[in-house]
Chains A and B, each alone.
Chain A
Amino acid sequence: MSNEGQRDIPGMFAGLAATTKRDLLLAWKRPGDVLNPLFFFAMVCTLFPLAVGPSAEQLEFSGPGVLWVAALLATLLSLNALFISDFEDGSLDQFLVSPQPLPMLVLGKTLAHWLTSGLPLVFVSPILAITYRMPLSVVGVMMLTLALGTVSLSLLGSIGAALTVGLHRGTALLSLLILPLAMPIMILGANAVSLAATNDIYSTGIWALGAYAIASLSLAPYATAAALRISNE
């Protein structure tokens, strides 16, 4: 029986794939958790023009900023739930004592989070951009910045979610922890879209967002894994 078992441990990519698959399946079974942040995003973006007035000039000017602020807040809203249920039902303990590298399992969870929160935002944003009279060429730039930015937000947010998982009602704390790291993403993203709208060179912002995404992809899983070990003591 057992004693030959060691070499049958599935590889680390199997762990990553299985965690992603499990979280996607859970999201599929509870669509409300996925739709809530998306609904929030859509609400903020549609209410804003109603409040400031329909002047075309004003909408074109404020569009990128509003979309980006709403995207940032919607992502923060969804991050709270990232590890809570795993913490409460004991899945986190199972992760901690599994032979799989914890950063890989965490990366799997974060990937599933991005697929169910960041990616839908990217796809919904063009519809909302129309409200702000954004030209099509700029819509493409906006989608690209949102895609890169939400990757970083999911990854950075996972660190905050891991740090606050043991505290009940860590919502405000999570936002406070993450905002300083998330601010540059929002500024770069909104700025790149604004520059594209005025036909200026915007590629610098895209490169910076890409670099930010790569840096978080390579560092955040380790930080999150370490934070989970501390929170679960």
Chain B
Amino acid sequence: MTHKLSGDNLTLIRGERCLFQELSFALESGSLLILEGRNGCGKTSLIRAIAGMLSLEEGAVYWDDVPVEKVRQTFHGSLVWLAHRTGLKGDLTLVENLGFERSLRAHSTQDPEEVYERLGISRLKKLVLRSLSAGQQRRVALARMLLSNVPLWFMDEPFTNLDREGRVLVMELVEEHCSRGGMCVMAAHQDVEINVPTTRVKIQ
């Protein structure tokens, strides 16, 4: 079963400033959408608007050709969100954090141990998140993404705080996800080269 995510004529005004207008895009299963632009140009606002966290001035986002407001639960049941603020609790351990996530959305049957191993966080399982470095916390957030069983990944600046291996790993993971028929929306200011069909949206 393939999915389709599209935006039609999106316009967003924050305060006095128009961040983007009449912006349209379409994304199908197996492909990647990259939102590009300078710092402060509205990438994060755009990705939040697509995910349904910001209301748009004009235009609408469609999931399988239905406006997302009408299928909010299905749409949110199909996506997982990764951003600069990871949404993990510093006072809880990795396992406690990810255990909570399992109750929020559909989770995959993949063995968590394999995922931890791949991300290089298996020896951090018993530590509270507060004691991990920013990059390690990022990897835990990636584990949440891998362990959830959803077709659509939202990644806002996924490379922040990661070392070179980490960045390569993120690209590999996105490539695998897309090649299995998933899709990914990514906001990035760096050059991202991933070997999957890619649409780029540039914000002025």
Contact = CB atoms under 8 A, between A and B. Distances in A.
A26 B85 contact: no
Contacts of B149: 1-2, 5, 8
B92 A5 contact: no
Interface stretch (A17-25, A55-63, A195-203): A17-25
A89 to B, nearest CB: 6
Contacts of B104: 10, 15, 18, 94-95, 98-100
A103 to B, nearest CB: 13
A9 B107 CA distance: 8
Interface in A214-233: 232-233
Interface in A1-49: 1-10, 14-15, 17-19, 21-22, 25-26, 29-30
Contact of A233 (B53, B76, B84): B53
Interface size bucket, B side?
35 or more
Interface string A174-199: 00000000000000000000000000
Chain B residues touching A, majority SS: loop
B103 interface: yes
Given A26-B89, A29-B91, A18 B81 contact: no
Main secondary structure of the interface of A (DSSP, over half): helix
Interface of A: 1-10, 14-15, 17-19, 21-22, 25-26, 29-30, 85, 88-101, 232-233
Q: Which 8 pairs, one residue from A and one from B, show the smallest C-beta to C-beta distance?
A: A90-B85, A18-B103, A99-B77, A8-B106, A90-B87, A2-B151, A94-B87, A5-B149
8 contacts: A5-B108, A9-B77, A10-B104, A30-B91, A90-B85, A97-B52, A99-B74, A99-B76
